[in-house]
Structures are given as C-alpha cells and as structure tokens.
Amino acid sequence: MGNQQFTVQGIAVAGEISGEQFACDLKACKGACCTMPGGLGAPLLKPETDEIVKAYPVISKYLSDEHRAAIVRQGLYEIRYGSYTTPCFNQRACVFVFYEEGIAKCAFEKAFHRGEIGWRKPISCHLFPIRVDYGWHERLRYESIHECDSARERGRNENVFLSDFLKDSLARAYGEGWYKEFQAAVSQARTPLKQSTQ
C-alpha cells in the first residue's frame, strides 16, 4: 500500500489515505481543529461565501458576543492572496465556533442538524483531516496533526478507516458514484498492507 498515489475520476488521492485509521474523539480533542493557532481560518470555495452570508442571520444566535463583535470588525469571510477563508477570533478559533461543555463546535452544523439551514458547513471543514490541493490537478492528501492523536487511537481501537469515517463528506464533495469508485480503489490499495501483516 505504502504512499502510492492513485486517481479516481481525475482526482488524485495520496496513498496514505488508504491505510490511515481515524475516528474523531471530540471529548478528547475538544474540537481542536476548529481552534488551531495561527490566525488562518478554514479555506472556502467562492460559492460558500454566499452560503455564509445567507446563513449568518440564522446561526448568529449560537455565537458569543465576542465572536459576533469579531465578525462585525472582520467580516463574514476574508480574502488572502486571492483565496477565501473564515475569519479567526484572537488569531485562533474560527469566528463561527461556539462552545458546548468545553468542546468547540460549528454553529453552521448545529443549525443544519436542527433543520434551520440547508448548508452544513464549509467542505474543507467537513473533509478534515483530508485537505484538497488545487492546481493543474485536484489532489486529496492527509494532514496529520498531533491534535488528532486521539482520533487515530480511536480509529485503531475501533478498526475505523479514515476513508469510511469521511464517507458523508467525500460523497458530498464528489458524489456517491465517485465515492464508490474511491472505496474500491482504497480497498485494492489496502490489500497488500493486510497481506504483509498476516
């Protein structure tokens, strides 16, 4: 299996995605991926900025006064070097984060699950820890960060693969047909790994 890259309907997929075991453990990580230091928010596609503008009047009630004030100052999205991102609060948490029992959660997703809006959240957030590189060819890669150690441990303990855990987000991004082909390719790529451990 190794790190050999494969392609599904023109989308390149980094080989490490096949064998990685991963399942988010919010009780352990506290939603760390939504509160990363550095001041760089989640990448946005241009059409997603319209979704944010449309959804904000609905989701603003879930945000703290501090986060709403930050949005007044910074706007609902930022443009850096020609790319769109969500703003951050104090160079760290996404401004669309709220806290529930000490866990950072997405206000868009909360409103979506309550049936208040039809858009779940930015696709870059939904796909994480898979990242999408855009260039001559679109490429999916796995971003390994230490904040997700608990997710990797849970994935190994429960035998959950990253490709299965992200089924909903991958199908949302590329379609059900693409995901079926992706899973077939992942299973084929994973077979040598299984054989080598027997």
Q: Which residue type, as a one-letter code, is found at position 110?
A: K
Digit-by-digit pLDDT tens for the chain (198 residues) are 446 889 999 999 999 999 999 999 999 999 999 998 877 789 999 999 999 999 999 999 999 999 999 999 999 999 988 899 999 999 889 999 999 999 999 999 999 999 999 999 999 999 999 999 987 789 999 999 999 999 999 999 999 999 999 999 999 999 999 999 999 999 888 765 444 444
Two tokens at 190?
């994973």
Q: How far apart are CA 96 and CA 111, in angstroms?
A: 12
Per-residue CA distances from 120 to 41, 47, 59, 92 (Å)? 17, 14, 11, 22
Beta bridge pairs of residue 120: none
Sign of CA dihedral 28, 91, 94, 125: negative
Two tokens at 34?
């939504």
The closest alpha carbon to 67, from 40, 97, 92, 39, belongs to 97
pTM, to two decimals = 0.90
DSSP class of residue 62 equals: G
Q: How many residues does the chain have?
A: 198
